[in-house]
Amino acid sequence: MANSHVNVLILCTGNSCRSIIAEVLFNELGRGRVQAFSAGSHPATAVNPAALQKLQSAGHETHGLSSKSWDVFSAADAPGIDIVVTVCDNAAGEACPLWRGSPVTVHWGIADPADAEPDDAADAFELAYQQLRRRVEQTLELPLESFDVRYRKDALQRIHEAECTKESLRG
């Protein structure tokens, strides 16, 4: 890799909740090892206010966050991407643009907290936040900079599968 950090692109359909949360977590917890971006295939007009509230209540910076099209990251001047993480089933099933770089792709299916009933919304955002945080923390424990492409993909998929197993036992 030419970069001194790993570029991660987190994709979701609307780029208003889960992908935004993951972007913030990767950037803050990665402390410069990772540069994360998020985007959507059909971006919302704005970041979901409940996602911003969840991030703020957990002590994260939310200034400058925005929903954006994934086309931004296939442009000639876009950063090279090392890892693409889809967090919703719709985005995982869509034909993605070509990204600069040679990214590995992994799917971390997380339920959309925006789909929760109003009385359950806070719990749904908390659950999505915790699920993403555990996956991001485990990802950052890996020597991402030295992994070859195949090992990186396998390790990221194993993190998701292990977390899904733990979550089903908790639930």
**Residues catalogued as catalytic:** 12, 88, 96
Q: How far apart are the C-alpha atoms of 86 and 59, rounded to whole Å?
A: 25
171 contacts: CB under 8 Å, gap ≥ 6:
none
Phi, psi of 2 (to 5 degrees): -80, -25
For residue 160, give both structure tokens.
């998701």
- What are the percentages of helix, strand and coil residues in the chain, rounded to 5? 50, 15, 40
Q: How far apart are the C-alpha atoms of 127 and 28, rounded to whole Å?
A: 19
The identity of residue 86, as a single letter, is T
Q: How far apart are the C-alpha atoms of 11 and 20, rounded to whole Å?
A: 9
CA angle 14, 96, 63 (to 5 degrees): 40
